[in-house]
C-alpha cells in the first residue's frame, strides 16, 4: 500500500509538471479570468478583510485580484514567511510595496501584524495545486497553511476558505489526511466551484 504522503508527492509532481508547460500568455490570461470569476463570489464581494497571497512563478495569478479587492476598500492581508514556516501577516499597500523574500516569494514591506492577524479575515484565499469534489485541497506540502488553518480552528474562527486553481486542477479525489480541512469554494478561470458539490 502507498503511504498517503507518497500519493500526495506523486500527484504534486504531476500537477507541477503540467504547470511547467504553461506559457507567460497562458498565465496572464488565466489571471485576468480568475479576477473576473472572483467578482462572482459573495464571500469576496462582501468581505471587509481578505487574507490572500501574491502568486509567484506559474501559480494561478493573484495580482489583478489583489488590486481589485484593494480598490474596493477591502483590507487585504498578505503572508510573511517566518523561519519556522509559520506565517506572519502584513497589509497589502499595492505592488510597489512588495519586496522579494526567501523562496522567491513577494511579501509586503509594511508593519508586521502577527500570526493571529489572519483571525480577522472574512475570507482566506489559499494557494494550492488541486481540490477535489469534497473540497479537500492539495497544497505544496510546506505546512504553512496547515498551521494557518489550525490557528483558525483553535480560535473558533470560520472564514470562507477559497482556493485559486487552473481548470484542470479540480479533480475527483485528492489524497486526504485526518487534519485536512475542506474549502468552501475554488475559483478557476472558467468557473466558481462550491463544495460539497451539488448534485
Is 194 annotated in some ligand binding site? no
Q: What residues does 165 pair with on adjacent strands?
A: none
- Let me know: does 77 contact 53? Beta carbons within 8 Å: no
Is 40 annotated in some ligand binding site? no
Is 11 annotated in some ligand binding site? yes
Cis peptide before 196 (omega within 30 of 0): yes
pLDDT 10s digits, 100-116: 988 788 999 999 999 99
Question: Can you identify the CATH homologous superfamily of domain 4-194?
Answer: NagB/RpiA/CoA transferase-like (3.40.50.10420)
pLDDT band, residue 6 (cuts 50/70/90): low
Q: State residue 140's pLDDT score.
A: 84
Is 59 annotated in some ligand binding site? yes
CA atoms of 164 and 31, how far apart (whole Å): 10
pLDDT 10s digits, 148-188: 999 999 999 999 999 999 999 999 999 988 878 899 999 99
Cα 100–140–138 angle (5° rounding)?
A: 140
Where exactly are the structural domains of the chain?
4-194
Is 45 annotated in some ligand binding site? no
Higher pLDDT, 10 or 199: 10
Task: Kindly tell me if the per-residue pLDDT of 141 is higher than 90.
Answer: no
pLDDT band, residue 68 (cuts 50/70/90): very high
Is 131 annotated in some ligand binding site? no
pLDDT band, residue 94 (cuts 50/70/90): very high
Residue keyed to cell 497589502: 92
Q: What is the DSSP letter of 46?
A: T
Q: What is the pTM of this model?
A: 0.92
Amino acid at each position: 500500500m502507498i503511504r498517503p504522503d507518497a500519493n500526495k508527492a506523486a500527484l504534486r509532481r504531476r500537477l507541477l509538471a503540467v504547470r511547467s508547460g504553461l506559457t507567460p500568455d497562458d498565465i496572464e490570461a488565466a489571471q485576468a479570468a480568475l479576477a473576473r470569476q472572483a467578482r462572482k463570489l459573495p464571500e469576496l464581494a462582501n468581505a471587509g478583510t481578505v487574507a490572500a497571497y501574491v502568486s509567484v512563478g506559474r501559480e494561478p495569478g493573484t495580482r489583478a485580484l489583489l488590486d481589485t479587492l484593494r480598490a474596493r476598500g477591502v483590507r487585504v492581508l498578505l503572508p510573511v514567511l517566518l523561519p519556522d514556516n509559520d506565517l506572519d501577516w502584513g497589509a497589502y499597500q499595492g505592488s510597489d510595496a512588495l519586496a522579494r523574500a526567501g523562496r522567491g516569494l513577494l511579501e509586503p514591506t509594511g508593519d508586521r501584524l502577527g500570526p493571529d492577524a489572519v483571525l480577522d479575515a472574512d475570507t482566506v484565499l489559499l494557494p494550492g495545486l488541486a481540490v477535489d469534489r469534497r473540497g479537500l485541497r492539495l497544497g505544496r506540502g510546506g505546512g504553512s497553511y496547515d498551521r494557518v488553518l489550525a490557528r483558525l480552528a483553535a480560535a473558533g474562527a470560520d472564514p470562507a476558505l477559497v482556493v485559486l486553481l487552473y481548470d484542470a486542477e479540480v479533480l475527483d479525489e485528492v489524497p486526504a489526511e485526518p487534519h485536512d480541512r475542506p474549502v468552501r469554494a475554488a475559483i478557476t478561470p472558467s468557473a466558481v466551484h462550491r463544495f460539497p458539490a451539488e448534485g
